[in-house]
Amino acid sequence: MTEKAKLNAPADSTANQPVQRALRKTRVGIVVSDKMDKTIVVEITEPVRHPLYKKYVRQTRRLMVHDENNECGVGDTVRVMETRPLSKNKFWRLLRVIEKAK
């Protein structure tokens, strides 16, 4: 390449490089409902720092999670991963069951 061609070439040629996907979020939670078909409700509790008082407060979220094989029961500890929208409320899928309920 000539010096002039090097200057006019794009700085980052991404044509030959594979597309990098962003890392997906994973969370650990407890199953609170398994009454739906292929869907479970997982409750996730995380400590969140209060913006003014700087104390940690427990924040609880309930996620609808896709469970393809209906393998989870109430009380199981599970790891879930963010995914594309699967339905109106379902944006997470089951990665694995960490511990079965006793």
Compute the distance between CA of residue 12 and CA of residue 59 in angstroms, rounded to an integer. Answer: 42
Domains and CATH numbers, the chain: 23-99 (2.40.50.140)
Per-residue pLDDT at 39: 96
State the average pLDDT over residues 51-79: 96
CA torsion sign, 74 to 75 to 80 to 85? positive
Residue 75, helix vs strand vs coil: coil
Two structure tokens written together for 41: 């409700």
Task: Give pTM, 2 decimals.
Answer: 0.74
Per-residue pLDDT at 35: 96
